[in-house]
């Protein structure tokens, strides 16, 4: 069974000054060796994180961040980009020059002219979704929100926060929006404008909604360009799609209104961050002058993390387009490697085309899930081949899974779950749809 190292057991350690086995790190008022005590806790915590990173497989974050150590001298400053990135402010400790450079870079990637583009560096994909959907609602006040049932929870939360009527659309096995269902529902609500949340990579399966087909469906249902607004939730794939051989899955050359991407996903960052981008002409609807800051308020949050703009700027410079392209290529190959190894071992699994997200049978053991940091939904789990995930990690994972699985399912006497409904019969290896047996995948 998987090994739980000493470093992982940080909460079971003893600390100087009689501080023992605490559930949390209380703030100590009376502590004789305060510095020793603090240093010990922090070094142990660093070891704990290093150890966890070695088997962190189930979430969309890139843990390859060593280059960001170069930025540590900046940690002694408070850097706050409050307000509009393109407007200076009387709050001078900001990094808006870095922020605007990051926005220029993304603007070129997503094909929008510099003088037509507006955006900001967010606290993550969630905030970008809030900003994009709020703009949609402000532009089309009585619009209905359409989004697939596999959309991220932030989309449904935005609908509640902004009091938008939300119509949930069915999905295909791949996780992408079912345009036949979209058509039916659009036709029932022709009198109201449509605000579409388009998934450029769903959270669980990485399913990509077909932008061209969604636009065609809108047009065929009688929605002219001024009666729809498309927000693209491209949390992970906003930085993958432009580097694919088949070309980008979305672009501002098409009639989209906004895009949101996370910065801590493919690119990687010590703190959550992201970018939201829209057309400049849309932002005037929500901009308000704030006198005491001498700037415009048009962002979801007031105070904004000025370090994250510098972190993104630095990583984009260090990696460049070529580095990101190489990361994408490596991740695609690693995802295919994992899918093939699972299939060879007779484990039901699915990998969408040009995708990092490998979906497969949920392990029935909580400790195993916890050790490999897997994320689960129903009968499914997934591994996301992010840039820090190596072939060796995947090999160790498959070997561990195959070995444990023989124990869980008593070498074939108990049947693993059928995943035909979730990932399609052709991807299902259960006793009815596939080879059915438990095998030695080594």
Ligand X SMILES: Cc1ncc(COP(=O)(O)O)c(C=O)c1O
Scan residues 272-301 and list those touching ligand X (CB under 6 A). Answer: 272, 274
**Residue 203 beta carbon to ligand X: minimum distance, rounded to whole angstroms:** 3
Distances (CA, A) of 364 to 181, 313, 367, 406, 412: 34, 42, 9, 12, 15
Scan residues 67-126 and list those touching ligand X (CB under 6 A). Answer: 124-126
Counting contacts by CB under 6 A, is residue 60 touching ligand X? yes
Counting contacts by CB under 6 A, is residue 154 touching ligand X? yes
Question: What one-character-per-residue DSSP string does 414-437 give?
Answer: SPPPP-HHHH-GGG--STTTS--S
Beta bridge partners of 428: none
What is the C-alpha to C-alpha distance for residues 71 and 322, in angstroms, rounded to an integer? Answer: 22
Report helix angle 125-139 to 153-161, nearest 10: 40
Residue holding tokens 């960001």?
68
Give the x-and-dash track for 393-432 against ligand X (CB under 6 A).
Answer: ----------------------------------------
Pick the closer one to ligand X by CB: 199 or 308.
199
Contact range with ligand X by CB under 6 A, out of 76-84, 158-166, 197-205, 284-292: 197-205
Counting contacts by CB under 6 A, is residue 207 touching ligand X? no
By C-alpha distance, which of 199, 200, 311 is closest to 263? 311
Pick the closer one to ligand X by CB: 62 or 89.
62
Pick the closer one to ligand X by CB: 384 or 420.
384
Of 148, 262, 295, 309, the residue at the interface with ligand X (CB under 6 A) is 262
Pick the closer one to ligand X by CB: 385 or 398.
385
What is the C-alpha to C-alpha distance for residues 196 and 231, in angstroms, rounded to an integer? Answer: 6
Give the x-and-dash track for 132-151 against ligand X (CB under 6 A).
Answer: --------------------
Give the tokens for residue 128. Answer: 């970008």
Give the tokens for residue 69. Answer: 């150590």
Pick the closer one to ligand X by CB: 89 or 237.
237
Number of chain residues interacting with ligand X (CB under 6 A): 17
Distances (CA, A) of 423 to 74, 311, 368: 46, 37, 22
Counting contacts by CB under 6 A, is residue 268 touching ligand X? no
**Residue 156 beta carbon to ligand X: minimum distance, rounded to whole angstroms:** 11
What is the C-alpha to C-alpha distance for residues 427 and 139, in angstroms, rounded to an integer? Answer: 43
Where do contacts with ligand X occur on this chain (CB under 6 A)? Answer: 60, 124-126, 129, 152, 154, 199, 201-203, 233, 235-236, 262, 272, 274
């Amino acid at each position: 069974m998987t090994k739980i190292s000493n470093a992982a057991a940080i909460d079971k350690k003893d600390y100087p000054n009689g501080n023992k086995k605490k559930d949390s790190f209380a703030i100590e008022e009376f502590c004789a060796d305060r510095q020793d005590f603090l240093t010990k806790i922090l070094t142990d915590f660093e070891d704990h994180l290093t150890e966890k990173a070695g088997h962190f497989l189930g979430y969309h974050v890139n843990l390859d961040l060593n280059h960001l150590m170069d930025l540590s001298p900046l940690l002694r400053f408070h850097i706050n980009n409050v307000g509009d990135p393109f407007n200076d402010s009387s709050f001078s400790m900001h990094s808006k020059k870095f922020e605007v450079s990051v926005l220029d870079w993304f603007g070129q990637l997503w094909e929008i002219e510099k003088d037509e583009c507006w955006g900001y560096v967010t606290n993550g994909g969630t905030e970008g979704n809030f900003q994009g959907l709020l703009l949609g609602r402000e532009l089309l006040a009585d619009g209905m929100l359409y989004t697939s049932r596999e959309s991220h929870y932030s989309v449904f939360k935005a609908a509640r926060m902004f009091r938008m009527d939300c119509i949930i659309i069915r999905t295909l096995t791949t996780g992408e929006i079912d345009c036949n269902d979209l058509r039916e529902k659009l036709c029932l609500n022709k009198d109201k404008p449509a605000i579409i949340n388009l998934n450029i990579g769903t959270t669980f399966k990485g399913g990509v909604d077909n932008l061209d087909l969604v636009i065609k469906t809108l047009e065929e249902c009688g929605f002219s360009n001024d009666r729809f607004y498309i927000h693209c939730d491209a949390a992970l794939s906003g930085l993958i799609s432009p580097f694919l051989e088949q070309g980008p899955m979305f672009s501002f050359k098409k009639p989209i209104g906004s895009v949101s991407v996370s910065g801590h996903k493919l690119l990687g960052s010590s703190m959550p961050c992201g970018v939201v981008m829209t057309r400049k002409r849309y932002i005037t609807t929500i901009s308000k002058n704030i006198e005491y800051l001498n700037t415009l308020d048009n962002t979801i949050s007031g105070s904004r993390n000025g370090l994250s703009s510098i972190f993104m700027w630095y990583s984009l410079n260090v990696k460049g387009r070529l580095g990101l392209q190489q990361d994408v290529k490596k991740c695609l190959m690693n995802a295919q490697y994992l899918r093939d190894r699972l299939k060879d071992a007779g484990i039901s699994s699915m990998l969408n085309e040009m995708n990092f997200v490998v979906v497969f049978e949920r392990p029935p053991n909580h400790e195993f899930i916890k050790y490999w940091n897997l994320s689960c939904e129903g009968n499914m789990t997934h591994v996301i081949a992010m840039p820090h995930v190596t072939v060796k990690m995947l090999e160790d994972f498959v070997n561990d899974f195959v070995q444990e699985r023989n124990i869980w399912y008593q070498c074939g006497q108990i049947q693993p779950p059928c995943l035909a409904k979730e990932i399609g019969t052709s991807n299902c290896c259960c006793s009815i749809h596939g080879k059915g047996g438990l095998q030695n995948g080594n």
